[in-house]
Structure formats: C-alpha cells, structure tokens
Amino acid sequence: MLTKTIAVEQEGKNSNLKCMAIYPGVVDTAMQKQIRKTPKKDFNDVERFISLKKNKELFTPNEVADKIVTLITEDKLPNGAIYDLRDAKF
C-alpha cells in the first residue's frame, strides 16, 4: 500500500518520480549458503532452501540486477507497480 500511496502522491505533484515495489524472489547469496547449513532443529524450513538450490531455482544477484535494469530502462513498470521478478518474461 505504501508503494501505491507514494505513486499517487507523486502523480498529484506532476513529479517525474516513479515508485514501484520489486520482489526479487530467493537470491543465492552468502546468507542463503548459511541458511542451507542450518540444522533442521534450528530452522524447520531448511529443506525448502536446500531444494531451491538443488533444483536451480535461485536467482544470482547479477540476474536480479539485470532484470531490474531491464524493467527500468525499458520502462516496463508503471508508477505504483508491484512486480515479482519470478514472473519476468524477458
């Protein structure tokens, strides 16, 4: 709601500023590596993160950055958009 509210406020000011929210999905970072090493007794969902890695379902940080740059430079997101990168078709 914050994203949509900021977008509406900026439109009312004839601003060039756009506000959007981007969900990157699960990104293969050092934090993910640490999560996958966590004992199940300490983190019940650890198998989900192990499976995501095993099945190559994680984005790399570079993939996320490239998709965000494409969305912005190709003006694919309207003001107030809420976008999940897992839905990106480019």
**Residue 47 belongs to a domain:** yes
Per-residue model confidence as pLDDT tens digits over 12-68:
887 888 899 999 999 999 999 999 999 999 999 999 999 999 999 999 999 999 999
**Residue 90 belongs to a domain:** no
pTM of the model: 0.77
Overall number of domains in the chain: 1
Torsion angle (degrees, nearest 10) of CA 79, 80, 85, 89: -50
Range of the domain at 22: 2-85
Alpha-helical segments (H) within the chain:
2-12, 30-36, 46-54, 61-73
